[in-house]
């Protein structure tokens, strides 16, 4: 790949020039200046990839192949390179990270100049700006796309995303009004002036998403310190912050790879659990053997619960063993490369961070039709999300087990009628810190069924 990458970079530079090269006069039949500018952006990105060392990421490999196809299209007389330009922009976006999103935005900018009425170019620009957290600019690009899009069904995802971005901005506006600030103008000056010197006035719906989140967090911290958590205005401010976080973490577009599964957040999960008896079943050879034995007391016990929960890779239970809720924690540097989640479950929860890795894992490992409901991004880190349990991150050397994360989430939601653990002994025993938490909340134990009752 090193030689291929170097050779492609040489070809791109030969055709488009190096950074800072003045635009060339277009010879008869040669590439448009916008295409040459796009190739220069690609060359810059390739140079950065070459300097970063060996490439092992399949997404970047696909991006490099797409840049190669764009280069070929630009050098072929009479070829229409516009579609190759859009494909390269999408591959840059799919490659992940800010660098990929910046390249996608640069290519989209050239595409919208080249064809101002291309709905694909405007959507690519909106997606790139969205990925970079530039919400208000993304809305403008999405609206340009909608103005050109004649297919109503194809517009629904974009319309939903615009509504989500605007709703997140509205939460910021309400928070500023509640805190007694006016939003800053484009020069960074507060319109009201009275509190313009404080750091909290940095909050604005026009800030990049990461900066807005940090400023919103600081505003909540300051107001809580000043007035106390019991103050009604502070409580409303905290609720607005939680709503903003949920809206900010929501997937940019509905993903067709979810196979028709319904995304659910904390409210939906709370309703799913309400009034039901729940058991978490450990995946051990003994438990699996007892479950499969006809007339087994343990099999009858498990079958008597309203919801059966299993965690992570279920290696011992039969593929047909009942699973109402499957929970899995993403681990490792490339969690999207694991086996696909093909065990049938009514609902599936996927815990993981950072958000781009979580999204990619869902797209890579979910099996369409294998689940009716899928936990959305607001449920991906329940222990540490400020809108949920809001605990400090645990020691990286001892991350929470999936079973413990599920237990804490069920306890926080508070709607199951009963929660039991079955089979969590011996090799399946939870770590001491987690057993201590369970022990403090155990209502009853049943040695014959190896059952611990929390509710």
User: Phi and psi for 407 in degrees, rounded to 5?
Assistant: -60, -45
Per DSSP, the three-state class of 325 is strand
Q: Which two tokens stand for residue 122?
A: 């405007």
State the virtual CA torsion across 188, 194, 199, 205 in degrees, nearest 10: -50
pLDDT in tens, 166-223: 989 999 999 998 887 655 444 444 443 333 234 445 888 988 888 888 899 889 888 8
CA-wise closest residue to 349 among 322, 321, 330, 368: 330
Annotate 149-181 with b (16+ C-beta within 10 A) or e (fewer): beeeeebebbeebbebbeebbebbeebbeebeb
Q: What is the pLDDT of residue 155?
A: 75
Identify whether the C-beta of residue 369 lies closer than 8 Å to the C-beta of residue 343: no
Cα separation of 237 and 73, whole Å?
53
Q: How far apart are CA 188 and CA 180, in angstroms?
A: 17
The answer to whether residues 287 and 423 touch, using CB atoms and an 8 Å cutoff, is: yes
Separation of alpha carbons 270 and 31, rounded Å: 57
Predicted local confidence at residue 397, as pLDDT: 56
DSSP β-bridge partners for residue 327? 311, 349
C-alpha to C-alpha distance for 57 and 48, rounded to whole angstroms = 15
**pLDDT given at position 128:** 93
Please measure the distance between the N-terminal and C-terminal CA atoms of the chain and give it in whole angstroms: 57
Q: What backbone phi and psi angles, to 5 degrees, belong to 58?
A: -65, -30
Q: Collect all residues with Cβ–Cβ distance below 8 Å to 437 and sequence separation of at least 6.
A: 404, 408
Alpha helices in 115-231 (DSSP H): 119-131, 135-148, 152-179, 209-227
Cβ proximity of 51 and 72 under 8 Å: no
Which regions in the chain score pLDDT beneath 50? 1-3, 23, 25-27, 184-200, 251-254, 257
pLDDT of residue 195: 34
Nearest to 327 by CA among 344, 347, 307, 342: 347
The tokens for 437 are 């938490």
At 18 the pLDDT is 55
Can you tell me whether residue 384 is helix, strand or coil? coil
For the record, the structure tokens of 149 come out as 């899009």
CB 196 within 8 A of CB 215: no
In DSSP terms, which residues pair with 308 in a beta bridge? 279
Q: pLDDT at position 77, please?
A: 79
The 10s digit of each residue's pLDDT in 226-253 is: 888 888 888 899 889 888 887 876 544 4
Q: Which helix (H) or strand (E) holds 355?
A: helix 355-365
Non-local CB neighbours of 88 within 8 Å, separated by 6+ positions: 38, 42, 63, 66, 67, 69, 70, 107
Q: Return the H-helix or E-strand segment holding 436.
A: helix 432-439
* Three-state DSSP state, 171: helix
Q: What angle do CA 20, 26, 27 make, to 5 degrees?
A: 130
- In this prediction, residue 324 carries a pLDDT of 94
Q: E strand or H helix at 242, and its extent?
A: helix 232-249
Q: Give 34-88 as a DSSP string.
A: HHHHHHHHHHHHHHHHHHT-----HHHHHHHHHHHHHHHHHHSTT---HHHHHHH
Residues 379 and 272 sit within 8 Å (Cβ to Cβ): no
Cβ–Cβ under 8 Å, residues 143 and 162? yes
Give buried/exposed letters for 185-216 (b at 16+ CB in 10 A, else e). Answer: eeeeebeeeeeeeeebbbbbbbbebeebbebb
* CA–CA separation, 249 and 210 (whole Å): 11
pTM for the model: 0.54
CA-based nearest residue to 224, from 216, 207, 197, 247: 216
């Amino acid at each position: 790949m090193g030689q291929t990458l170097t050779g492609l970079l040489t070809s791109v530079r030969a055709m488009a020039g190096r950074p800072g090269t003045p635009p060339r006069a277009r010879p008869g039949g040669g590439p448009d200046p916008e295409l040459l500018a796009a190739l220069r952006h690609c060359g810059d990105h390739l140079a950065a990839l070459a300097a970063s060392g060996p490439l092992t990421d399949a997404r970047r490999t696909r991006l490099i192949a797409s840049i190669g196809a764009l280069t070929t299209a630009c050098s072929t007389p009479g070829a229409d390179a516009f579609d190759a330009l859009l494909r390269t922009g999408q591959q840059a976006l799919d490659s992940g990270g800010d660098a990929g999103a910046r390249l996608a935005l640069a290519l989209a900018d050239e595409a919208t100049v080249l064809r101002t009425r291309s709905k694909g170019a405007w959507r690519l620009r909106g997606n790139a700006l969205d990925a970079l957290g530039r919400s208000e600019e993304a809305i403008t690009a999405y609206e340009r796309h909608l103005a050109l899009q004649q297919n109503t069904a194809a517009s629904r995802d974009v319309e939903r995303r615009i509504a989500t971005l605007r709703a997140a901005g509205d939460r910021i506006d309400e928070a500023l009004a509640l805190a007694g600030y006016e939003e800053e103008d484009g020069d960074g000056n507060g319109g009201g002036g009275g509190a313009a010197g404080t750091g909290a006035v940095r909050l604005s719906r026009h800030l990049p998403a990461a900066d807005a989140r940090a400023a919103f967090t600081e505003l909540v911290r300051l107001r809580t310190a000043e007035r106390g958590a019991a103050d009604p205005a502070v409580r409303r401010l905290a609720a607005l912050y939680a709503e903003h976080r949920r809206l900010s973490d929501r997937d940019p577009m509905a993903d067709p790879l979810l196979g028709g599964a319904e995304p659910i957040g904390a409210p939906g999960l709370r309703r799913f659990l309400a009034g039901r008896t729940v058991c978490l079943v450990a995946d051990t050879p003994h438990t699996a053997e007892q479950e499969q034995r006809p007339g087994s007391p343990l099999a009858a016990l498990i079958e008597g619960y309203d919801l059966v929960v299993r965690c992570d890779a279920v290696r011992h239970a039969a593929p047909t063993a009942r699973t109402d809720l499957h929970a899995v924690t993403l681990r490792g540097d490339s969690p999207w490369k694991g086996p696909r989640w093909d065990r049938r479950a009514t609902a599936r929860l996927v815990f993981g961070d950072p958000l781009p890795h979580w999204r990619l894992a869902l797209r890579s490992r979910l099996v369409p039709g294998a689940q009716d409901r899928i936990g959305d991004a607001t449920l991906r880190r329940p222990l540490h999300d400020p809108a949920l349990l809001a605990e400090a991150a645990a020691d990286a050397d001892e991350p929470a087990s999936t079973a413990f994360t599920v237990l804490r989430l069920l306890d926080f939601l508070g709607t199951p009628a009963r929660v039991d653990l079955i089979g969590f002994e011996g090799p399946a025993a939870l770590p001491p810190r987690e057993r201590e938490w369970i022990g403090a909340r155990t209502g009853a134990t049943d040695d014959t069924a190896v059952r611990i009752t929390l509710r």
